[in-house]
Amino acid sequence: MKNVARLLVTLVILLSCQQPTAERTIVASTSIIGDWVSNIAGTDWKVVTLVGRDGDAHTYEPSPADVQTLAQASLIVLNGAGLEHVWLHPILESSKTQAPILELAEHTQLIKSEHHHEEEIEGQDPYEEGEEHEEGEEHHHGEFDPHVWLSPRRVRDMVTAIMNQLISLDPANEQAYRQRTAAYHQKLEELDREITSKLAVIPKERRKLVLLHQAFGYFALDYDFEQTASVLRSLTTQTRDPSAADVARLVDLLKKEKIPAIFDENIAKNPVSAAIARDAKVKLAPPLYTDALGQPGTPGETYLGMMRHNANVILEALRP
Ligand SMILES: [Zn+2]
């Protein structure tokens, strides 16, 4: 009897310990979104990230623990625009979560993968687009580019959306959420000015970005660069390696366009980039932080840090 009583007491303690976290957990799909959420939510909430630092959100393989994490969430924040859909949709279903889901891409301007200068479309859901694809048409043509976070100018509205969601869940702390958001908006504006002025020394003919995948569309549009090509020729890393013919075409293009450098990425190292750089006799620049933060203690520890680092790497690689 004594043992049963002790067991019951232990059980009650365990349950009461677990409940507060279970009630106050925000799940973010990526480390970058997790960083924004932590900045706005403050320390009252526990923030859990699914795809970790240096992780690839295109090819992520969720674990059974992720289903559990989603089941206990009070709020789920994801990027949307096709970034996580493939792996996230099934685990959202099986978690049977009742938590609100905030899709940040719905709160900013999205561009399509190609022709992005002509087609600015606000907050449309790519899954409801229902656009007809003709047989043999380039697979990624006309898809929305999910990489909105890589232009700090577009992050402002996404951070505001996080604030509004938190206020609706926890109106008692509205003031605190508003203050933290205002402070973060200011940091984003400083970052934006810093990137613009730092990169101003790069002349127009050298403002050309070539990465492993096409992650820098929004950055290019907002900071007056051209995303000339990408090694994988794709908006996602979940694609086959380029064929020998693709590589040869890219090498020719790099020479013809006088591309100064190609950039590695923190989320996916592919030896093809180095081989292409060698063949085209262009610099292989250090990795840019693309779809994830870097490890603690690196420049990419925070979103603001990773974007400053990216600007420095671009400056060093492309300055005359
Ligand atoms: Zn990506």
Cβ atoms 30, 290 nearer than 8 A? no
| Residue 134: predicted pLDDT | 39
Give the Å distance between the CA of 57 and the centre of ligand 1: 7
**237 CA → ligand 1 middle, Å:** 6
pLDDT at residue number 7: 54
250 occurs within a structural domain: yes
Distance 176 CA to ligand 1 centre (A): 33
pLDDT in tens, 18-42: 444 446 999 999 999 999 999 999 9
Instruction: Tell me, yes or no, whether 164 and 265 share the same domain.
Output: no
Same domain as 177, residue 249? no
151, 186, 221: which is the final residue of a domain? Answer: 186
Say whether both 216 and 179 belong to one domain.
no
Question: How much distance in Å is there from the Cα of 282 to the middle of ligand 1?
Answer: 23
In a domain, 289, yes or no: yes
> pTM for this one?
0.86
Neighbours of ion ligand 1 (CB under 5 A): 215, 291
With respect to residue 4, please indicate whether it lies within any of the assigned structural domains: no
Residue ending a domain, among 186, 220, 249, is 186
Give residue 157 CA to ligand 1 midpoint distance, Å. 20
- Residue 213 Cα to ligand 1 midpoint, Å, equals 7
CA–centroid distance, 232 to ligand 1, in Å, is 11
What is d(CA 43, CA 34) in angstroms, rounded to the nearest whole number? 13
**Can you give the residue range of the structural domain that contains 180?**
11-112+142-186
Residues 79, 101 contacting (CB under 8 angstroms):
no
Helix, strand or coil, per DSSP, at residue 98: coil
Report how far ligand 1's centroid is from the alpha carbon of 181 (Å): 26
In a domain, 205, yes or no: yes
How many folded domains does the chain comprise?
2
CATH number where 51 lies: 3.40.50.1980
Please tell me the predicted confidence (pLDDT) of residue 17.
Answer: 45
Instruction: Give every CB contact of residue 209 below 8 A, 6+ residues apart in sequence.
Output: 216, 219, 220, 225, 226, 227, 228, 263, 314
pLDDT of amino acid 23: 65
- Ranges in the chain, pLDDT < 50: 1, 12-22, 115-141
The Cβ-side half-sphere exposure at 2, using a 13 Å CA radius, reads 0
Q: Residue 218: is it exposed, middle or buried by C-beta count within 10 angstroms (0-12/13-18/19+)?
A: buried
> Which sign does the torsion angle of CA 250, 252, 255, 257 carry?
negative
CA 319 to ligand 1 center in whole angstroms: 25
State whether 165 and 217 are in the same domain. Answer: no
Write the DSSP string, 35-73.
HHHHHHHGGGSEEEEEE-TT--TTS----HHHHHHHHT-
Instruction: Report how far ligand 1's centroid is from the alpha carbon of 179 (Å).
Output: 31
* Model pLDDT, residue 8: 53
Measure 202 CA to ligand 1 centroid, in angstroms: 25
In this structure, the answer to whether residues 179 and 309 fall within a common structural domain is: no
170 with 206, same domain? no
Cα(312)–Cα(26) distance, rounded to whole angstroms? 32
pLDDT digits 0-9 by tens, 171-204: 999 999 999 999 999 999 999 999 999 999 999 9
Q: Do 153 and 181 share a structural domain? A: yes
Examine the domain organization and report whether 161 and 257 are in the same domain: no
Same domain, 211 and 294: yes
Instruction: State the pLDDT at residue 127.
Output: 36
Task: Verify that 214 and 277 share a domain, yes or no.
Answer: yes
Kindly give the distance from the C-alpha atom of residue 71 to the centroid of ligand 1, in angstroms, as a whole number: 26
Give pLDDT, residue 190.
Answer: 98
* 144 in Cβ contact with 124 (< 8 Å): yes
* 314 and 288 inside one domain: yes
Specify whether 59 is located in the same domain as 83.
yes
pLDDT computed for residue 112 by the predictor: 86
> What does the pLDDT read at residue 118?
32
Boundary of a domain, candidates 129, 156, 186: 186
